[in-house]
Amino acid sequence: MLYSKIAKPALFRMDPEKAHHLVIDGLHSAGKVPGMLSLLQSMYGMEPVPELAMDLFGLRFPLPVGLAAGLDKNAKSVDGFSSIGFGFAEVGTVTPKPQAGNELPRLFRLPPDDALINRMGFNNDGTEAMRLSLSRRRVKTIPIAINIGKNKATPNEQAHEDYMACIRVLYEYGDFFVVNISSPNTPDLRALQHGDELKTLLDSVRREMDAQGARRGETPKPVLVKIAPDMTAEQLEYTVDTIHKSGISGIIATNTTLSREGLTHPHAAEAGGLSGRPVTAMSTAVIRSVYSQTGGQLPIIGAGGIFDSDDAYDKICAGASLVEIYTALIYKGPEILRELNRGLLERLRRDGFTRLTEAVGSAHR
C-alpha cells in the first residue's frame, strides 16, 4: 500500500533511469542507518517457510522468489534487498572493466503493457567496485548470485577471458555465478549461445571455477547460464544440449525478448530488450522445453513476466525450481514478495503437495 499509493506515483513521474538510481541509492543508504534494515524486514520481510524452502546447488534457499539481475548492477544494495523478503538475489551484470553502457535514454516504461524496454548495455562499475561492495555485505541470510558478462569492446573470440576474469576477482564473494550470454543490448553477445563459441566459453568458465575451488580446497561453486527466449526450437535444443554436456549447474530461463507482439504503448518502437507481462508465456514455454529435453536433470530458475502467484506457480510446474522477478517489483513494489510466497503456499496445499520440490515439473507428469 505504501508503495502503490505514495512511492510509485512519485517514481513514475521521474525519468525511469533516475528513479532506478534513486531506489538503489536509497536502499544503499538505508543499509547504513542503524535499525533501518530491521525496519525493512518488519515491513516487507517474510520468515522462512519450510514448505517453500529449496535445497539446490548445495545451497539453501529459504524462499523461492529471487531478484533478477539488472536492478542492482553494482551490488550496492545487497543488504537492503536481503531484508525485504527475497529468497536469493542476483547482482550485475558485471564486466571486468567499468563501462558506461549505451547512450541515454535507454530505459522505458510501458504501463498499459506492464512492461519495460531497456537497452542499458551492461553499464556497471566493473569487478573491483563490485568486489568492494560485496566485501562490505552484512546481511548474509540469502544466497547471492553474481551475473557476469563481457565488455562491449571484447571480441567474441576472446569473450571467455572476460568471464574468467570476473570469476577470478569475485569468486570469494558470490554463492553462485550466472553466465550472461543472452542480453540483446551488447552487440553479437547472443551469438555466444550457439556453435563452438558456446562450448569454448563454458569449458573456460568451468576450468576457472574448478581452479578457484581447488585453490581454496573446496567444491567449486555453482555456475548457471542465462538464455534468451527468442531462439528457434532447433537453436534451443542445441544450446541446452551443450550446456547440459558442459557440466554447468543449471539454466536461467529467460532474459528479455526482442519481440514486440501485442504491445500497445508508443514506446514499443524503442530498441532493446522487453521484460514484463509480454514475456510471461514465452519464458514459461522455454522452461517447459528445457525441462522436457533434460528430463528434469538440469535445474532451472524461471524468470520473465511473473506478476502474480499463478505466473510463478506455472513456471514451477513447467520445471523451474526457483523463480526471479524484476519488472513486477517496479510496478507492484516490495509488497509483491509476500503476495507471491503466500500464493505459492496456497497453491501447493490446494494441489496436495507438502513441499515446493514436489510441484517442480508436475505439469509433465
Which residue numbers are catalytic?
Answer: 183
Residue in the structure block whose three cell numbers are 567444491:
219
Task: Give the 3-state DSSP-derived string for the chain, with helices as H, strands as E and coil as C.
Answer: CHHHHHHHHHHHCCCHHHHHHHHHHHHHHHCCCCCHHHHHHHHHCCCCCCCCCEEECCEEECCCEEECCCCCCCCCCHHHHCCCCCCEEEEEEECCCCECCCCCCCEEEEHHHCEEEECCCCCECCHHHHHHHHHCCCCCCCCEEEEECCCCCCCHHHHHHHHHHHHHHHHHHCCEEEEECCCCCCCCHHHHHCHHHHHHHHHHHHHHHHHHHHHCCCCCCCEEEEECCCCCHHHHHHHHHHHHHHCCCEEEECCCECCCCCCCCHHHHCCCEEEEHHHHHHHHHHHHHHHHHHCCCCCEEEECCCCCHHHHHHHHHHCCCEEEECHHHHHHCCHHHHHHHHHHHHHHHHCCCCCHHHHCCHHHC
Q: By C-alpha distance, which of 145, 282, 166 is closest to 222?
A: 145
Work out the number of other CB atoms within 10 angstroms of the CB of residue 145. 28
For residue 186, what is its C-alpha cell?
Answer: 551488447
Q: Computed over its alpha carbons, how large is the radius of gyration of the chain?
A: 19
Cα–Cα dist 106/358, whole Å? 41
User: Residue 93: phi, psi to the nearest 5?
Assistant: -75, 135
